[in-house]
Amino acid sequence: MMTSTSRYQRRRIVNRIAWLACLGVTGLCLVALGAILFQLLYSGLPKLSLEVFTSRTRASGGGLGNAIIGSLTMTLLGTLLGTVVGMAAGSWLAASRSRWSGLIRFASDMLLSAPSIIIGLFIYALVVLPSGGFSGWAGSIALAIIILPMVIRSTEDMLRLVPAPTREAAYALGAPRWKVLTSISFRMVMPGIITGILLGCARISGETAPLIFTSLNTNQWNWFRLSDAMPNLPMTLYQNMTLTGYDMDKVALAWTGALLMTLMILVLGIVSRRLARTS
């Protein structure tokens, strides 16, 4: 009786220790998250003013207006390009019974998990070298390739959710395939696909590595001139933090930019989550 009680005690204690350990590591994660968010607000808020949005980056500080516009342009263009090709490829994969679909799915997975710096180098070798210079086009194409496999996957997954009888009913009424796809299948699962696109958009709007080799950066205003080097937020942060040898003013501006970028990504994430819940 003694031994069984002590054994029971021991098992209870082990269980309690495991519970505490799990609680501890979860707490550690939340503390890290809190520390990062705190630092973003603490270092980013003091510099936040209207000037950040209206003036361009200068050697002496200035604002982030040109970088914000450039980032928005390239992110939107990249998302658009990636979405058009990705939705087409995704619907082919969902409909196809071809034996090649396995290969294409595999290639898409490879692309999905390729480090983003590699995509940047690829576009450097493919677009920047032949065209003779860094450009907004190259940056947008690099971002499009990063979002592409994400759109493919969400489009295929979503289209597979459309029940076969729904589509068959439409075919039986004599509707052609393209009509069924565009006005029945897509319409049913559009919120799900848009969720995937928004998450991809959030991911590419924070990407820095591929832009080093494609759009580079400039501290001039570039009003949507995609054939030139294009200012953008992530590269501006990178350069403010590394090239200037700790000019405190530029570091503070970089934190403000980081705060704006993270806020935008969080908003995209929240919107996509809402959308996913309603669908």
Please give the residues from 212 up to 251 whose contact with other proteins meets the rule CB under 8 A. 212-213, 216, 234, 237-238, 241-242, 251
| Residue choice 30, 45, 161, 190 for contact with other proteins (CB under 8 A) | 30
Minimum separation from the CB atom of position 92 to other proteins (A): 4
Residues whose CB is less than 8 angstroms from the CB of residue 180 and which lie 6 or more positions away in sequence, other chains included: 167, 170, 171
| Residue choice 69, 152, 189, 229 for contact with other proteins (CB under 8 A) | 152
Q: Which residue stretch of 32-40, 52-60, 62-70, 221-229 sits at the interface with other proteins (rule: CB under 8 A)?
A: 32-40
Cβ proximity to other proteins, 36 vs 224, nearer residue = 36
Q: Which residue stretch of 48-56, 65-73, 142-150, 162-170 sits at the interface with other proteins (rule: CB under 8 A)?
A: 142-150
Minimum separation from the CB atom of position 102 to other proteins (A): 11
Minimum separation from the CB atom of position 111 to other proteins (A): 6
Site for other proteins contains 190 (CB under 8 A): no
Minimum separation from the CB atom of position 207 to other proteins (A): 8
CA end-to-end span of the chain: 58
Count the residues of the shown chain that bind other proteins, applying the rule CB under 8 A.
88
| Residue choice 7, 11, 58, 274 for contact with other proteins (CB under 8 A) | 11
| Residue choice 113, 165, 223, 248 for contact with other proteins (CB under 8 A) | 113
Site for other proteins contains 176 (CB under 8 A): yes
Minimum separation from the CB atom of position 59 to other proteins (A): 17
Site for other proteins contains 31 (CB under 8 A): no
SS3 sequence of the chain: CHHHHHHHHHHHHHHHHHHHHHHHHHHHHHHHHHHHHHHHHHHHCCCCCHHHHHCCEECCEECCHHHHHHHHHHHHHHHHHHHHHHHHHHHHHHHCCCCCHHHHHHHHHHHHHCCHHHHHHHHHHHHHHHHCCCCHHHHHHHHHHHHHHHHHHHHHHHHCCCCHHHHHHHHHCCCCHHHHHHHHHHHHHHHHHHHHHHHHHHHHHCCCHHHHCCCCCCCCCCCCCCCCCCCCHHHHHHHHHHCCCCCHHHHHHHHHHHHHHHHHHHHHHHHHHHHHHHC
Q: What pairs with residue 197 in β-bridges?
A: none
| Residue choice 68, 198, 254, 260 for contact with other proteins (CB under 8 A) | 254
Q: Is 124 exposed, middle or buried (0-12, 13-18, 19+ CB in 10 A)?
A: middle
Cβ proximity to other proteins, 33 vs 45, nearer residue = 33
Site for other proteins contains 14 (CB under 8 A): yes
Site for other proteins contains 125 (CB under 8 A): yes
| Residue choice 71, 79, 83, 108 for contact with other proteins (CB under 8 A) | 108
